[in-house]
Amino acid sequence: QVQLVESGGDSVQAGGSLRLSCAASGYTFSRYCMGWFRQAPGKEREGVARVDSLGAKNYADSVKGRFTISKDSAKNTLYLEMSSLKPEDTAMYYCAADPGDWGCLVKRPTQFKYWGQGTQVTVSS
């Protein structure tokens, strides 16, 4: 079955960097729409970045220029490179995958079929 396992979350100072990883298994990784989402306490889950099967990417305005999504199909792993971190980036970060690639870059959280368990990112000022 499809499995997504995130790692890399940590507590860092503002201005710091982190790299999140999402190890995927149980499906043809390269053909799926993939994304990173985050959810802070008391807030709705929001999209951070998405990448489609052809490698096209989309970012939330709040992270443009600071975060980079990438995937390594040979390793079945999705990454999120985060730099210039801010306290408002504090959240649980989730990896998501969906077999439907159409409209990938604007898919809402409810449109992703598979989810990881999340990894916590905490940024202190």
In this prediction, residue 29 carries a pLDDT of: 84
Q: What is the DSSP string of 11-71?
A: EEETT--EEEEEEEESS-GGGSEEEEEEE-TTS--EEEEEE-TT--EEE-GGGTTTEEEEE
How far apart are the C-alpha atoms of 116 and 38, rounded to whole Å? Answer: 12
Label residue 120 by pLDDT band (50, 70, 90).
Answer: very high
Please name the helix (run of DSSP H) or strand (run of DSSP E) that holds residue 11, with its range, or none: strand 11-13
Mean pLDDT over 85-99 rounds to 97
Label residue 123 by pLDDT band (50, 70, 90).
Answer: very high
Label residue 30 by pLDDT band (50, 70, 90).
Answer: confident
In this prediction, residue 28 carries a pLDDT of: 83
In this prediction, residue 59 carries a pLDDT of: 98
What is the average pLDDT score of the chain? 96
Query: Residue 67 corresponds to which amino acid?
Result: F
